[in-house]
Amino acid sequence: MDKVRVVLLFGPQSSGKGTQGMMLEKSLGIPHISTGRLLRVKMEKDLDFREKFNSFVLRGDLVPDQYIYEVLFDRLQEADCQKGFILDGYPRNLSQIKAMEKFLGDYFGSYELSVVNLLIPFESIVQRVSGRFVCSDCGQTYNIYLYPPKVEGVCDSCAGVLEKRADDQPEIIKNRYEIFNQQTVPVLDYYQNLDNVKIFNIDGEQTIDEIFKNIMAKLND
Ligand SMILES: [Zn+2]
């Protein structure tokens, strides 16, 4: 049997990693899991959780690890994750790496880990975020400049209503980008130093199809 395949998708907010994650899901046959999306679904169901979570998000801060572990590790034990999965937005710091390594080792035994790192400058992010909308039902993201929906304000996949996210505000974008650099760079450095982990740096300013082709070529190499 093939090893469990773990793909970690890195990139700042609006680097297109959500879109690439969905394309990879179809192509690789393993689910794309966004911790952000998982947490949003959890918040809809659990009001206490939502209240605590929102106090972090509205400041532009990262959510403490215990909130993420609870939701993510439950998800990874579902049937569709048993051959592997693509993680979007996780892990974001060294303690999350350690928690994930422990979970993966205990639950899956051996696994193969690849890191896909989408590179994009801050000025491009600001422009992209100003055009960004997300489906309120399925979480699919759109951008009126880069990948608009076929019908304005309506999701192509599920016909859900597209809306702006509460945390897509300029000062929050800047805060998130700074936190991303402060916390994610050490995560990449950590993986860079592991012999059994492959890191693929991808130019995130290419077209969606070009980025996808590059990622697939690296993963299949
Ligand atoms: Zn939708």
Going along the chain from its start, the domains and CATH numbers come out as: 4-121+169-220 (3.40.50.300)
> What pLDDT band is residue 70 in, cutting at 50, 70 and 90?
confident
136 alpha carbon – ligand 1 mean position (Å): 7
Q: Give 3-state DSSP helix, strand, coil % of the chain, rounded to 5.
A: 50, 20, 30
Q: Is 59 exposed, middle or buried (0-12, 13-18, 19+ CB in 10 A)?
A: exposed
Distance CA 38, CA 16 (A): 18
Decide if pLDDT at 1 tops 70.
no
Distance CA 218, CA 221 (A): 5
Q: Phi and psi (nearest 5°) for 171?
A: -70, -30
198 alpha carbon – ligand 1 mean position (Å): 33
CA 102 vs. chain centroid, Å, equals: 20
Q: Is 66 exposed, middle or buried (0-12, 13-18, 19+ CB in 10 A)?
A: exposed
15 alpha carbon – ligand 1 mean position (Å): 20
Average pLDDT for residues 72-86, to the nearest whole number?
96
209 alpha carbon – ligand 1 mean position (Å): 21
142 alpha carbon – ligand 1 mean position (Å): 10
- By the CB criterion, residues less than 5 angstroms from ion ligand 1 are 135, 137-138, 140, 155, 157-158, 160
Q: Tokens 């990879």 map to which residue?
A: 24
Decide if pLDDT at 101 tops 70.
yes
Catalytic residue set: 17, 92, 132, 165, 176
pTM of the predicted model, to two decimals?
Answer: 0.76
Average pLDDT for residues 164-173, to the nearest whole number?
79
Decide if pLDDT at 41 tops 80.
yes
The two structure tokens encoding residue 196: 């059994």
